[in-house]
Amino acid sequence: MPYTPDTNRYTKMQYRRCGNSGVKLSAISLGLWHNFGHVDQLENGSNILKLAFDNGITHFDLANNYGPPPGSAEENFGKLLKRDFSAYRDEMIISTKAGYTMWDGPYGDWGSKKYLVSSLDQSLKRMNLDYVDIFYHHRPDPETPLEETMMALDLIVRQGKALYAGISNYYPEEAALAIAILKELGTPCLIHQPKYSMYERWVEHGLLDLLETEGVGCIPFSPLAQGMLTDKYLKDIPADSRAAKAHGFLQAAQITPEKQQQLLKLNAIAESRGQKLAQMALSWILRDERITSVLVGASKPEQLADSLKCLENIHFNTEELNNIENILSNS
């Protein structure tokens, strides 16, 4: 049976303007960092994408190295896009990135024009697309002049291979320079994608103010601190969790008894708000109007459905915010 989206999908979602641009993004965006590689079940990925689109999620975020193996998330997304969503391409914002190691040799990493242009050409082939909506530089390159990297983004937009340019993992000083260069080139920076959660707060020290001043959107990734801000770790470390895997970003050693006590206290606030801990963690980010959207991942449709419920209550009273700060300050 061909996929037919929910006709009420756009009444289910909140949309926020991305900086000073003409673009609005769904308040929740779907990240394909995990769960869409060749090691994963394609039909499970299909079900996640359909649930997302049925609920008004229009933004799908990828990168050249997502998988595993690298490139496979784009390949699988391309297959599903062609099979299920080809009639709805113009209703989607599709983004990808380059900046981490992708192939051997001196041209397969970082931020040279050679790497960025070549990488996007490969990404477009993998996804069977003529263009992406947003192309990001994934991380600053300490050796390549920032002007060269930004000129590559400008070139890519002028070539029509991307509609907008973005940056990711740039600290405030670097971001300010990148935004200024892009503005001078005539291709404004649309959006910045930083790591931000209750446990990762560096964006509050200058970056959010900068983005607001410059009219640049903000879309945080890892809002649940790689799954720590969920109810998975309130008592122990489940055998199938990320923390139980030896090579994951979240390590078992990070789930200390003190951290679990902290999570239990945060969970109590979430319950008083009628939310799960993960839902509150997402709402806590979205409470700030400078945030355009928040990226969530999902290993199964039910997990995404759970995350979407955060939109039912994104407002916090002063007492709740103060209590959260007191708990986090004792980490």
56-113 confidence digits (pLDDT tens):
999 999 999 999 999 999 999 999 999 999 999 999 999 999 999 999 999 999 999 9
pLDDT, tens digit, 9 for 90 and up, residues 213-264:
999 999 999 999 988 999 876 765 554 555 444 445 555 556 678 888 999 9
Token pair in block for residue 64: 């050249």
Neighbouring C-beta atoms of residue 204, cutoff 10 Å: 11
Instruction: Look at residue 232 in the predicted model and tell me its pLDDT.
Output: 77
Distance CA 287, CA 284 (A): 5
pLDDT, tens digit, 9 for 90 and up, residues 13-35:
999 999 999 999 999 999 999 99
Instruction: Look at residue 42 in the predicted model and tell me its pLDDT.
Output: 97
Mean pLDDT of the chain: 94
Which residue, among 319, 320, 322, 298, has the nearest Cα to 309 in the 3D structure?
298
Domain boundaries, the chain: 9-227+285-314
Mean pLDDT in residue range 315-324: 98
What does the H/E/C string look like for 8-64?
A: CHHHCCCEEECCCCCCEEECEEEECCCCCCCCCCHHHHHHHHHHHHHCCCCEEECCC
pLDDT, tens digit, 9 for 90 and up, residues 182-194:
999 999 999 999 9
Nearest 5 degrees, angle CA 90-CA 96-CA 98? 155
Instruction: Look at residue 244 in the predicted model and tell me its pLDDT.
Output: 43
Distance CA 93, CA 160 (A): 15
Fold of 9-227+285-314: TIM Barrel (3.20.20)
Pairing of strands 15-17, 24-26: antiparallel
Instruction: Look at residue 331 in the predicted model and tell me its pLDDT.
Output: 60
- Is 80 exceeded by the pLDDT of residue 55? yes
Which residue, among 265, 286, 82, has the nearest Cα to 197 in the 3D structure?
286
Q: Are 238 and 232 in contact (CB under 8 A)?
A: yes
Instruction: Look at residue 247 in the predicted model and tell me its pLDDT.
Output: 45
Distance CA 22, CA 123 (A): 25
Which residue, among 58, 67, 69, has the nearest Cα to 30 in the 3D structure?
58
